[in-house]
Amino acid sequence: MGTEHFDATAADWDRDEQKVARAHEVAQAVAAAVSLSARTRVLDYGAGTGLVTQALAGRIGPATLADSSSGMRDVILEKIGSGALPAARVWDLDLEAQPPPDERFDLIVTSLVLHHIKALPRVLSRFTELLAPGGYLCIADLDREDGSFHGHDFDGHHGFDRAELSVQLEDAGLVDVSVRDCTEYVRDGVTYSVFLAVARRPA
């Protein structure tokens, strides 16, 4: 799935109340798993319209929202302009194709993005590089599903096996990996479970 789909759906993304509610549930799960403060430098990777960062606002420090879709970045910039999102940096970044910028974050949150990432080991290693020592990676994504979520021409991941992803996170140099239930995604009458995986860069 290229950026065209997300470019085309960005303007109406937030009209779907389920997406807004789910972003709040992801933010709650992140806040329950990781200690946050006004000093926490956050990268929201594959931020979409910034819903997860919006839901974390007031509990975190400086935010950077990265997305490879220009349509999504335009919505984020509008929200920053209107005050719906606090002042934040917006990055055009695709870690499958680009090396990570020379920056460090205390928390990387990435919600429903990883199943679109084909070069997963490369991107997980790049997340590790972007984390400050002791920093956390929080991944919200679909549990392994039968392929019905996107339809059978989808060339990404049909969700993730929690144990396999945990090994991949350790292979990327992260420690203290844990995975818990987070929220649900109801599509066409089918309920898909969403986990939150948490891992830490060694101090």
Ligand X SMILES: C[S@@+](CC[C@H](N)C(=O)[O-])C[C@H]1O[C@@H](n2cnc3c(N)ncnc32)[C@H](O)[C@@H]1O
| Binding residues vs ligand X (CB under 6 A) | 3, 6, 19, 23, 46-48, 51-52, 67-69, 72, 94, 96, 111-113, 116-117
Residue closer to ligand X by CB (options 98, 178) is 98
d(CA 31, CA 78): 26
Rg of the Cα atoms in the chain? 16
Residue closer to ligand X by CB (options 48, 135) is 48
- CA 144 to mean position of chain CA atoms: 17
CB of 15 to ligand X, least distance (A): 13
Concatenated DSSP letters of 134-166: EEEEEEEEEBP--STTT-TT--S-S-B-HHHHH
CB of 101 to ligand X, least distance (A): 13
- Which residue number has the CB closest to ligand X? 48
- CA 183 to mean position of chain CA atoms: 14
Residue closer to ligand X by CB (options 36, 196) is 196
Residues 60/89/168/179 CA torsion (nearest 10 deg): 30
Residue closer to ligand X by CB (options 18, 134) is 18
CB of 203 to ligand X, least distance (A): 28
Residue closer to ligand X by CB (options 12, 176) is 12
CB of 112 to ligand X, least distance (A): 4
CB of 154 to ligand X, least distance (A): 12
Question: Under a CB-based contact definition with an 8 Å cutoff, are residues 75 and 9 in contact?
Answer: no
Which of the 8 DSSP states describes residue 2? -
The residue to which tokens 């818990």 are assigned: 180
Q: How far apart are the first and last CA of the chain?
A: 36
